Amino acid sequence: MKAFKHLVAAVAALSLFTSCGILGGGGLSTGTTASTGSTTGSALATIFNVLKNTGTLDLGNLTNLINLGQILTGANSLVDAGKSYTDQFAADLIKSSNNMITSANVNKVIDGLKKLAGTDTSALTKATTAAFAGNLVPVSSSDKNVKANLAAIDTIMKAMKK
């Protein structure tokens, strides 16, 4: 089981590194946009399904934390993004979200991601970074900043509801 967790963490870390351009050239290319938008859309769909099926988001679950880390990466990539990047990111969100994000709700999802990027994500980022390495760092949903992060994610999830 521990080996599986490390494998999941390694794959997620590789995904993060490639989507952030850490392993590639500098700058934001269309490939990076597609990778980041696709990874974010897939992570949003996964978190949506977790919430739909369980009614809660377990912050002690490595997979949930890895998905949250991918969402944070996508949100942060939108902070100073231009129209071209945002449009491509939106198209890739739609393609990768199993039809949970559509042309009708993508702008609300993008707005929610930008709102998330505007919150203090340091506690959640610390936990997600550790999760990418296969480690679990406790994160409290009662922490003021984590509450703000989860509220922003809740806004995104509500925008995705059909």
Q: State the pLDDT at residue 162.
A: 58
Q: State the pLDDT at residue 13.
A: 42
Cα–Cα distance for residue pair 140/122, rounded to 1 Å: 12
Q: State the pLDDT at residue 33.
A: 57
Q: State the pLDDT at residue 137.
A: 87
The answer to whether the CB of 95 falls within 8 A of the CB of 119 is no
Q: Which of 26, 37, 33, 49 is nearest to 113 (CA)?
A: 37
Could you give the C-alpha distances from 81 to 10, 111, 114, 126, in angstroms and in order? 28, 13, 10, 24
- What single string gives the DSSP state of each residue in 100-134? SS-TTTHHHHHHHHHHHHTS--HHHHHHHHHHHTT
Per-residue pLDDT of the chain (162 residues; tens, 9 = 90+): 444 443 344 344 444 433 443 333 333 334 555 579 999 999 999 999 999 999 999 999 999 999 999 999 999 999 999 999 999 999 999 999 998 999 999 999 999 999 999 999 999 999 999 998 988 888 888 899 999 999 999 999 999 975
Q: State the pLDDT at residue 19.
A: 41
Q: List the chain domain ranges.
A: 2-160
- Overall pTM > 0.85: no
